[in-house]
């Protein structure tokens, strides 16, 4: 038997240590939580993407009484970016979560479905997507989506 060790590298920053571009991306994600439709969970999530052309787009989670018909903020903004800007790569994505009247102390991570969608976009453009996960006490920065999904199923997996 062999063992394989898989490590994920996560940078841990204070908000003020981030460059201006990443700070703006997180601010947009934080603004998006107030646009979330989350009457069932009360867990509001905002996400924003930075496109290769410098544009920032935002999205929020949208719940539905007929679970699982809702959609996470990450997929809302990523699908919007891919639909409206099909030839422009995503450079970075930021996520912030808000519940019980405040932002979370620790960063929240994307669900498995969102991770798979993010990976597809990263693969589609052959361009790493930096991931910024906001918490009031720290921000996690990952250099690409594969850091979130190390044993991933991707386009090359279909080739056998």
Compute, in degrees rounded to 10, the torsion defined by CA atoms 30, 110, 80, 27.
20
Please tell me the distance from the alpha carbon of residue 101 to that of residue 73, in angstroms, as a whole number. 18
Return the structure tokens found at 112: 């498995």
| Active-site annotation holds for 74 | yes
Please tell me the distance from the alpha carbon of residue 106 to that of residue 49, in angstroms, as a whole number. 20
The catalytic position among 31, 55, 63, 74 is 74
| Half-sphere exposure (Cβ direction) of 155: Cα atoms closer than 13 Å | 10
Catalytic annotation, residues: 74
């Amino acid at each position: 038997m062999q063992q394989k060790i898989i490590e994920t590298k996560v940078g841990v920053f204070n908000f003020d240590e981030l460059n201006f571009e990443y700070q703006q991306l997180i601010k947009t994600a934080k603004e998006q939580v107030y646009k979330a439709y989350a009457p069932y969970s009360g867990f509001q999530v905002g996400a924003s993407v930075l496109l290769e052309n410098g544009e920032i787009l935002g999205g929020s989670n949208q719940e539905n009484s007929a679970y699982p018909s809702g959609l996470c903020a990450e997929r809302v903004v990523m699908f919007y970016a891919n639909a409206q800007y099909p030839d422009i790569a995503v450079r970075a994505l930021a996520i912030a979560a808000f519940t019980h009247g405040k932002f979370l102390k620790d960063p929240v991570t994307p669900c498995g479905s969102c991770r798979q969608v993010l990976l597809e976009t990263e693969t589609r453009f052959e361009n790493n997507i930096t991931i910024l996960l906001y918490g009031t006490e720290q921000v996690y920065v990952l250099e690409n989506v594969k850091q979130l999904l190390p044993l991933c199923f991707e386009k090359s997996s279909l080739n056998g």
